[in-house]
């Protein structure tokens, strides 16, 4: 009995030690390690096969494991397209604090993931997809890459791109939190749970979202639900004006911001777009 008790205590110590070990991160951003998950087509052999890959970016206060990201990853895999979805700093399993989040830091996170994907020998062609605030980051990342004159995304999908964040910060009202936009506090609380720091509230007011995005000249698909109560339709319409003839806006009837009502339709439309972009 004594030996059994000692064994149990030892086993518990091992388990506690294992659970407290620092996670190893392959990619790092300004706030530390970035957690990500790669989804490959069934039967894909990274040693001899090749395929395109789409980088998936979630929205504010969300993560790579919340819809529609996992469903999109599965849809791409069935179509022969790999994907990598990741948590921005301070979200999900990535390091950092939400309170320290800024768009510039999320752009740096995305660039770190982009560089990692480019280093993968089996990847042939890269696309970007962003939902809500992730759509802002995707659009600006594509624009910066294009402006630099190097490798640009083969295609970009923006799901209800949340460019309204700039106007929200300028107007001193973000979700249900109010503040003085000229002198924001150290942080605000959205819905009483999530902290947005002063740096985010100040720097977001100064973003050149559409001007940065405009440098990208590749194919763009905009998807926006007509029952989106968080990001207004004019955000997608403004992006459409910015991109011109190489962009298409599809309004999804009955869909909300979190893409729960017409998710299979949104996934199918997105997959079809990238199949065409990648020539599959």
Mean pLDDT of 194-209: 97
pLDDT at 191: 87
Q: Pick from 114, 215, 231: which is nearest to 163 by CA?
A: 231
C-alpha to C-alpha distance for 93 and 194, rounded to whole angstroms: 16
Strand 177-178 with 173-174, pairing = antiparallel
Mean pLDDT of 140-163: 97
Helices (H) and strands (E) in the chain, counts: 9, 13
At residue 24, does pLDDT exceed 80? no
Mean pLDDT of 200-214: 98
C-alpha to C-alpha distance for 128 and 130, rounded to whole angstroms: 7
Q: Pick from 159, 142, 130, 114: which is nearest to 64 by CA?
A: 130
User: Which residue blocks in 80-197 are alpha helix, DSSP H?
Assistant: 103-119, 133-148, 164-171
- Cα-Cα-Cα-Cα dihedral of 35, 39, 45, 49, to 10°? -100
pLDDT confidence of 23, banded at 50, 70, 90? low
At residue 179, does pLDDT exceed 80? yes
Mean pLDDT of 77-102: 96
User: Which residue blocks in the chain are alpha helix, DSSP H?
Assistant: 2-20, 69-78, 103-119, 133-148, 164-171, 198-203, 209-213, 233-243, 263-278
Answer yes or no: are the C-beta atoms of 138 and 216 closer than 8 Å.
no
CA distances to 75, 111, 201, 208 from 197, rounded to whole Å, are: 35, 22, 7, 20
pLDDT per position as a tens digit, 212-234: 999 999 999 999 999 999 999 99
Q: What is the pTM of this model?
A: 0.91
pLDDT confidence of 14, banded at 50, 70, 90? very low
pLDDT per position as a tens digit, 41-67: 999 999 999 999 999 999 999 999 999
Radius of gyration of the chain (CA): 20
Please, what is the average pLDDT of the chain? Answer: 92
Mean pLDDT of 141-154: 96
pLDDT at 192: 81
């Amino acid at each position: 009995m004594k030996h059994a008790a000692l064994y149990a205590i030892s086993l518990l110590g091992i388990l506690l030690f294992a659970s407290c070990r620092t996670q190893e991160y392959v990619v790092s951003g300004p706030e530390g390690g970035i957690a990500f998950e790669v989804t490959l087509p069934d039967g894909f052999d990274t040693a001899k096969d090749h395929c395109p890959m789409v980088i998936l970016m979630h929205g504010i206060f969300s993560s790579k494991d919340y819809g529609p990201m996992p469903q999109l990853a599965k849809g791409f895999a069935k179509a022969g397209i790999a994907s990598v979805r990741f948590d921005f700093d301070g979200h999900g399993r990535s390091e950092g604090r939400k309170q320290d989040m800024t768009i510039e830091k999320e752009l740096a996170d995305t660039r770190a993931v982009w560089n990692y994907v480019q280093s993968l020998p089996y990847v042939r062609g890269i696309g970007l997809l962003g939902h809500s605030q992730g759509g802002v980051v995707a659009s600006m990342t594509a624009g910066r890459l294009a402006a630099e004159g190097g490798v640009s995304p083969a295609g970009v999908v923006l799901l209800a791109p949340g460019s309204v964040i700039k106007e929200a910060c300028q107007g001193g009202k973000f979700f249900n939190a109010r503040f003085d936009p000229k002198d924001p506090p150290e942080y605000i609380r959205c819905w009483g749970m999530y902290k947005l720091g002063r740096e985010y509230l100040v720097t977001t007011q100064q973003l050149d979202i559409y001007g940065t995005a405009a440098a990208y000249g590749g194919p763009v698909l905009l998807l926006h639900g007509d029952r989106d109560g968080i990001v207004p339709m004019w955000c997608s319409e403004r992006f459409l004006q910015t991109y011109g003839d190489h962009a298409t806006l599809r309004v999804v009837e009955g869909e909300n911001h979190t893409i729960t009502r017409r998710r299979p339709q949104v996934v199918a439309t997105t997959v079809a777009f990238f199949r065409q972009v990648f020539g599959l």
